[in-house]
Amino acid sequence: MTKAMLTAMTADVTPAPKSARTPPPARAGTAAGPLYRFERGGLALLAATMLAFGGLVLLRSAFQESRKTDFGVYCRAAHAVRVGTDIYGPNTCDDNGWHYCYPPPFAVAMVPFADPFAFQDHAGYLPFWASVTAWYLLSVGLIAWSLHRFAAAVLPAEVPYSRRWWYARTVPFYVCIGGLTYTLARGQVNSVVVAMIAGAFTATCRRQPVGAGLWLAGAVAVKVIPVYLLLDSLVRKDWRSVGGLALGLALFLVAVPAAVWGWQGMIDNNVTFLDAVLAPGALGTGDQMRAKELTNTASTDSQSFQAALHNLRHPDPATRPVNADASTKLVHVAVSGFLTLTMLGVAVVRGVRPGPAERLIFLGCVTIAMLHVTPVSHMHYYALGLPLVAGLWLQGLRDRPGRVTCDPVTLALLIGWGGLVLVMLLPHDVPSRMRECGVGPLASVVLWACGLRRAAN
């Protein structure tokens, strides 16, 4: 047998280089392995719970004598769009008498869910219960999509559907479960805003700055206050993102309303929105029709710095003035300015680390500051804490490869914040006092400070 023949016979059995071998499948029980049986059971229980919770939301929203949801406000404004009446008029309200308080393009987007009054013709309209169901499913889907986008951007190499993959996407939901479920229960729009923020963050990570600006413009067109998130683009000196925001605002606030109402109608609706919603909430001026249901400092469980200071100065609800005085508003502006300037200072002096986790944390810091900087901030706004919670959790997982949990300090911080928010939503005198005296804003400031520290160089 020649040497050439021997070489040919043994060529197929020669071991491949170690680096070229196919990695073995992950062992069960490892972070990259499949879920344990109890973990699969936990996911199934979560799905069943969300389904049952959806049934409860449907019952409260559509099948009780009074509708216990904010969703009807959007549907009634959408009906006004459809029939050509004033979306901000005194007669455009839901069955509870609550009036529309969002920008014009959101009313246009909600036209598929338009809901006439009971005495009006319902031919050609979705039944209200069907609209509630669709909105709930859409909201849950947007929350899940947002969690996936955050995790995919920070931990792109995780084995799909492994234990670590699932933990990256589910734990932030559990931490923010109070604000998220309250948003779902009220039929609120925060899940839409979170999804817009997730879209902007994903576009930034993919180096699509104009797209990021367009996503942010969508969030502003829904709820206005996300314009504060422009701070994130400014500290990154991402001028193309700013241009995308300007383009999106022109599209959503000018072109879309003009297409529906004409140019004069577009101007009239935007001016009315400024006078009826923004001016009363921010300055205490303008049309006060929504004062009792929205813009008065003491009308809601507002979580702004302004409301917390006002409640601390007037601890007795029976004698508490309905609105904060000038000195309280000045302190609110000072505290808000301090948080804003601190974030600018950290970004300019120390810099934000370039990793996607750190970028998400900084964006989350801006978002959670936004919750309390705005003069009117409801309890369901805590759903917008999800970007910061996800950023801190995902950073912790990234720094602990092969684990399914972050470091104990971060975990305790997240559980503490999420637990406080959940407790404050309970129907009892103690949670009520917690909501009034600023426990929520204080806890958020602690989370915000830790986030800045983790994001900075």
DSSP summary character for residue 152: H
Two structure tokens written together for 337? 């300015």
Tokens of 139: 């909201």
Could you read off the pLDDT of 304-333 as tens digits, one per residue? Answer: 999 999 999 999 888 889 888 999 999 999
d(CA 300, CA 309): 14
At residue 78, the pLDDT reads 97
Locate the domains of the chain by residue range. Answer: 51-117+124-455
Q: Between the CA of residue 259 and those of 81, 86, 102, 217, 281, what are the distances in Å?
A: 12, 16, 18, 18, 28
| pLDDT tens-place string over residues 58-112 | 999 999 989 999 999 999 999 999 999 999 999 999 999 999 999 999 999 999 9
At residue 8 the predicted structure's pLDDT band, cuts being 50, 70 and 90, is very low
Closest by CA position to 309, among listed 430, 436, 432 = 436
CB 87 within 8 A of CB 157: no
**pLDDT confidence band for 283 (50 / 70 / 90):** confident
Where does the pLDDT of residue 7 fall: very low under 50, low under 70, confident under 90, or very high at 90 and above?
A: very low
The full DSSP string for 179-218 is HHHHHHHHT-SHHHHHHHHHHHHHHHHTT-HHHHHHHHHH
On the question of pLDDT at 14 being above 50, the answer is no
What is the full DSSP assignment across 314-357? S--TTT--SS--HHHHHHHHHHHHHHHHHHHHIIIII-B-SSHH
CA atoms within 13 A of residue 352's CA, in its CB half-sphere: 27
Phi first, then psi: give them for residue 93, nearest 5 degrees.
-150, 165
For residues 440 and 434, what is the distance between their CA atoms, to the nearest angstrom? 7
On the question of pLDDT at 10 being above 50, the answer is: no
Q: 192 burial class (0-12, 13-18, 19+ CB within 10 angstroms)?
A: buried
Share of the chain above pLDDT 90, in %: 80
Residues 457 and 449: their CA atoms lie apart, in Å, by: 14
**Nearest CA among 203, 191, 250 for reference residue 384:** 191
Looking at per-residue pLDDT, the higher value among 161 and 282 belongs to 161
Angle between helices 408-424 and 429-436 (to 10 degrees): 110
Beta bridge partners of 93: 99
And the tokens for 212?
């990021």
User: Could you tell me the two tokens for 123?
Assistant: 């031919």
pLDDT at site 427:
86
Show the tokens assigned to 217. Answer: 């413009």
- d(CA 373, CA 361) in angstroms, rounded, equals 18
Q: What is the pTM of this model?
A: 0.91
Average pLDDT over residues 148-158: 97
Based on DSSP, count helices (H) and strands (E) in the chain, helices before strands. Answer: 20, 0
What is residue 457's predicted lDDT score, i.e. its pLDDT? 80
| One-letter amino acid for residue 138 of the chain | L
User: What DSSP assignment string belongs to 238-293?
Assistant: -HHHHHHHHHHHIIIIIIHHHHHHHHHHHHHHHHHHIIIIIHHHHTS-S--TTIII
Residue 161 φ/ψ region, left for φ over 0, alpha for ψ in the -120 to 50 degree band, beta for the rest: left
Mean pLDDT of 234-260: 95
Span 7-25, average pLDDT: 42
pLDDT band at 12 (very low <50, low <70, confident <90, very high): very low
What one-character DSSP code corresponds to residue 159?
P
Q: What is the pLDDT of residues 127-137, one digit of tens each?
A: 999 999 999 99
Predicted local distance difference test score (pLDDT) of residue 2: 42
* Residue 83, helix vs strand vs coil: helix
Q: Position of tokens 């069943």?
A: 48
What span, in angstroms and rounded, lies between the C-alpha atoms of 191 and 229? 16
The token pair at 434 is 């917690």
CB 400 within 8 A of CB 406: yes
Name, in order, each residue with C-beta under 8 angstroms of 44's C-beta and a sequence gap of 6 or more: none
